[in-house]
Amino acid sequence: MEPGFPAKTNEKQKDLEAAWFNLNLAASKRRNRHRSKSQGGCKRKNPGFAFAAAEVIDPSTDDGVTFVLIQFDRATAIFDGHVALEPLTLTLTEMRIGVIGLNGSGKSTFARLINGLVKPSVGCVTLDGLDTVKDAKAVLALTGFIFQNPANQIILPVVGEDIAMGPRARGLKGKALDEAVGAVAERLGIAHLLLRRPHELSGGELQLAALAAVLVNRPKLVIFDEPTNQLDLKNRKRVAATIHGLEEQALVISHDLELIADFPRVLVFDQGRLAFDGAAEDAIARYREIAAC
């Protein structure tokens, strides 16, 4: 940890930390307050069909790296009578997953279903067998989410304090807290930014600061929503290299086709439907066909 990093927290900051601790759950409630009363969940009864038994999959790669087993079982998202995502059944196990499609195609809804920020109106979504409805807190602990504008999720006025907020809210303090923050900052090459204020950072630095605040909580899966949007070439290159080098599983929503061009699996969404699911090269070709219409 850099010298001079503030170790104490005042009452206002404690309030902010408590607010952060429940931020994702609160966001989930706000985003879904108008959803259908027929809410999903793997153990709920849903009219018209029965769920298939979950496939048994070993959640590890050949080199021993573990991934989150993501399963959609006829998951559907409906808002105010509008179907944002049509019934979807699939299993995701890849360490790098791309999600592409036109604006309004259902990409963000799909991603938010994964970590529970959006709840399925019908059907269910599970992560390592945890239901995003019934096991919401456990699902949030498995995942991290980087929003399109990372400045909106940096709450505290000093970057290092913001990174520390999550582990401090979980009870980490003193030397252990300093070491956790310092380690993730060193990992991402932003130790020199710990005492800086968010408004002083470039777009790429903001992305990395937000990512540090997520990674310090040790998620297994990180979801990125347009991580290179509005970045200059230098910052885009840095953020892209960081994503490609992550030890964690990553799901990336992007219009930056080069960013996901070497991903083993890419999903293409169109008008609330999954239009293609396969290798990046074929997925990009399908997306170009859709965009040309």
The helix/strand/coil state of 234 is: helix
pLDDT at 58: 52
How far apart, in whole angstroms, are the C-alpha atoms of residue 54 and residue 140?
21
Strand order in the sheet with 96-101: 143-146, 221-225, 249-253, 96-101, 265-270, 273-278
| pLDDT tens digit at each of 293 positions of the chain | 444 444 444 544 444 444 444 444 444 444 344 333 334 456 544 433 333 334 445 555 555 557 899 999 999 999 999 999 999 999 999 999 999 999 999 999 999 999 999 999 999 999 999 999 999 999 999 999 999 898 889 999 999 999 999 999 999 999 999 999 999 999 999 999 999 999 999 999 999 999 999 999 999 999 999 999 989 999 999 999 999 999 999 999 999 999 999 999 999 999 999 999 999 999 999 999 999 96
Q: Would you say 195 and 2 are in contact if contact means Cβ atoms under 8 Å apart? A: yes
pLDDT at 50: 35
pLDDT at 41: 52
Q: Would you say 272 and 282 are in contact if contact means Cβ atoms under 8 Å apart? A: no
Q: Domain 11-44+64-292 carries which CATH code?
A: 3.40.50.300
DSSP H or E stretch at residue 71? strand 70-79
Of 154, 245, 259, 163, residue with least CA distance to 203: 154
How far apart, in whole angstroms, are the C-alpha atoms of residue 236 and residue 147?
16
pTM of the model as a whole: 0.80
Q: What are the CA-CA distances from residue 222 to residues 22, 24, 232, 248, 253 (Å)?
A: 18, 14, 23, 7, 11
C-alpha torsion sign, points 31, 33, 35, 37: positive
pLDDT at 232: 93
Q: What are the CA-CA distances from residue 65 to residues 11, 127, 220, 275 (Å)?
A: 40, 16, 10, 30
What number of residues does the chain have?
A: 293
pLDDT at 4: 44
Helices (H), the chain: 11-21, 23-31, 107-115, 136-142, 159-169, 174-188, 203-215, 233-245, 280-292
